[in-house]
Amino acid sequence: MSEQGYEDELRSERNYVDGLYARLDAERTLAKGKYHAALRGNGTTLLERDAEVRALAREVKRLDVADNKLCFGRLDSKTGETFYIGRIGLFDEANEYEPMLLDWRAPASRAFYTATAANPENMRRRRQFHSRGRRVVEFSDEVLGRPGGDERGDAALLAAVAAPRGEGMRDIVATIQAEQDEIIRLDHPGVLVIEGGPGTGKTVVALHRVAYLLYTQRERIERHGVLVVGPNPAFLNHIGRVLPSLGESDVVFTTTGDFVPGLRVTAEDAPEVARIKGSLRILEVLAAAIRDRQRLPEQPLPIELADITVRIDAGTAEWAREEARGSGLPHNDARAMFREIVTYVLTERAIARIGRGWITRADKEAWEDLRKDLIAELAENAEFTRALDLLWPVLTPETLLATLYTSPDRLRAAGADRLLLRTDGAAWTVSDVPLLDELADLLGGGDSDEQTIAHERRAEAEYAAGVLDIMIDRTDMMDDEDHLFAQDLLYAEDLADRFLERDTRELVERATADRSWTYRHVVVDEAQELSEMDWRVLMRRCPGRSFTVVGDLAQRRSAAGARSWDSVLEPYVPGRWVYRSLTVNYRTPAEIMTVAAAVLADFAPEAEPPESVRACGVRPWSRQVSEDELPAAVAGFVREEADRAGTSIVIGPPDVPGAVAASETKGLEFDAVLVVEPERILADGPRGAAELYVALTRATQRLGVLHRQPLPTALDGLTDSGAPRSAGDQRIAR
């Protein structure tokens, strides 16, 4: 194409994209007008108005996020058709709703990501736009089907992966690769496992899969939403913009430490303690700890009534306990049966003694009156209540677990490992959260505010329905001279709306406040770190067992984490999970991946490192420093990187000023990384080796290492810079 021809084409494309933005603005103005009208009310019921307001709010959000790179490409078919591909779909109202822009998730858009020179899928050309704001700056073409042509539009991909990093993860709708697209669109109703090494894009692929599922299965998923579970808040903040940028907001982001609403994690378990708590064997301990609180009295407990003293003996308590346990109800719910049996025994004994002198057996009414009086007296008797609290106490998950952890006797009675003993029982750790969640089900009787509100709403709805039934009955009883006016029916409908108290909160707010909320789809990132107990919690959160599981077994650092996907998933979804792997590293340049691969080979020789898609031309460097020199060397790196575009981080032991632990950077990426004292990180056994591997693979451009002791053998490939400030600028001679 000549220079003039290119400029003419560019002008034409700009005009077309300007037309798309004009259509977008018109749709947004229309949607906002309908939204404000719905807020004012359109003569509909309150419930209908709420549904309309929420639907229009979602539509306004969908249109708002499309402003950034609305259209990013075009496909030309061999039959002469042209398809523009973008963030959302737009249609031409004036031309029988012909598509002006195809949503990237639509089936017709798939060839934009999958067509190759060898398999053009009936396409002649792929054009990619490079935009700044709303303006198309330039475009690049890839002719499909030509022998010897490139597999993909690598120029656009490499420009994207090499660009300086910003504050959060970016979507990849413009540069999705064929192997990624296959996973995103995979039609599988069960569990999909996506495994890949550092930089393979497994997280962003999983998030785009969520957007695709919401596009294709919105009716099934939307009302209950999607849950995304990540390793830490920094990671969730990093990925949190991807789905909103794709127009999806009904997604809850959380960590395993946030499964119980309102609970604060303030401590960390030793690896062996985390392993014990993460094993399913802890279920036996929890059940035994509950049984231990269902006691028998060592001596009969006297209960003084107005006319007589009765006693709860071991035999009575044992009978009541066995009946309550046999009911299958949770502990707190079964207390009612325990109380009922004890009350029955005590009243029968009292009646036999009190009534012996003045009530005949034939006087049934007198016997029943006495029984009712005794039952009422027991219900208000403080000694009786204290006795019940001693023998069958009302328990909360927090009180049960905290008292278990601080009592050697209770731990022994529950068959628990003594390693669980700690001074502060309420210093909760991440490993405690699934145990507390399990106890909430085992104990019962702890309705959350959400459940209480739901019960009240159901009762109010039933009352309103009763009013409507009465009014319908009035209609049936009327003769021809009676009249049921329209305002009567309107009043009843308004009454029903009034009693059906509306919950106007967004889905995310409602779901995060309700421990019992269930989701239609769950994404689990860094899934290799989750324990068996964590998985048990997640399976409760998603009864339909629709999961996207993302991880890398080679990066596992948790002693309670997964050693194979089969062992984790088969107990819950036998035969209903599929495995896909990503093998291309889009983040880590080849120079850095070579260093990281040597560490991987040392601690996980069976694992295959991902192949880097690019080189950056900058050698990773190392420098040995003394203890006194270390702070200045770290400060020098920070100062130098502050003058560059992009992001940087210092990773190292906790006592290094300004450093963060490698575990806190999992899933994150930075233009430049400084790893401090790798020898100390590596000294923590297999867990330390995984941590070092994570640290080394966070950089997209530049990697430096500062060490006091000699470098570990696995890092022999690093170049010793010898110079503290210019080492990061060393270029590979070409």
Binding site for ATP, by residue number, is 196-203
Phi-psi region of 199 (alpha: psi -120 to 50; beta: other; left: phi over 0): left
* Residues facing residue 704 across a β-bridge: 621, 674
Single out the residue of 587, 586, 569 nearest to residue 578, CA to CA: 569
Known binding-site residues equal 196-203
Q: Cα separation of 446 and 459, whole Å?
A: 19
Single out the residue of 674, 668, 615 nearest to residue 641, CA to CA: 674
Asked whether 431 and 274 are in contact (CB, 8 A), the reply is yes
Residue 691's contacts (CB-CB under 8 Å, 6 or more residues apart) are 557, 661, 662, 663, 681, 684
3-class DSSP state of 315: helix
Q: Give the tokens for residue 451.
A: 């459940």
Handedness of CA 434, 435, 439, 440 (dihedral sign): negative
Q: Give the tokens for residue 268.
A: 């960390």
Question: What count of other Cβ atoms lies within 10 Å of the Cβ of residue 711?
Answer: 17
The H-assigned helical ranges of 585-655 are: 590-603, 630-642
Handedness of CA 67, 73, 75, 80 (dihedral sign): positive
Q: Cα separation of 367 and 201, whole Å?
A: 77
* Residues facing residue 74 across a β-bridge: 84, 127
Residue 404's contacts (CB-CB under 8 Å, 6 or more residues apart) are 289, 410, 411, 414, 416, 420, 425
Phi-psi region of 122 (alpha: psi -120 to 50; beta: other; left: phi over 0): left
Q: Cα separation of 185 and 727, whole Å?
A: 44
Asked whether 311 and 387 are in contact (CB, 8 A), the reply is no
Query: 472-511 b/e with 16+ CB inside 10 Å = b?
Result: eeeeeeeeeeeeeeeeeeeebbeebbebbeeeeeebeeeb
Helix (H) or strand (E) holding 240: none
Residue with tokens 């905290």: 402
Q: Give the tokens for residue 543.
A: 């009864």
Asked whether 646 and 165 are in contact (CB, 8 A), the reply is yes
Residue with tokens 């194979």: 564
Asked whether 546 and 520 are in contact (CB, 8 A), the reply is yes
The 3-class secondary structure across 93-130, one letter per residue, is HHHCCEEEEEECCCHHHCHHHHCCCCCCCCEEEEEEEE
Q: Cα separation of 1 and 175, whole Å?
A: 24
Q: Give the tokens for residue 8.
A: 């003419």
Handedness of CA 561, 566, 570, 571 (dihedral sign): negative
Single out the residue of 255, 264, 253 nearest to residue 429, CA to CA: 264
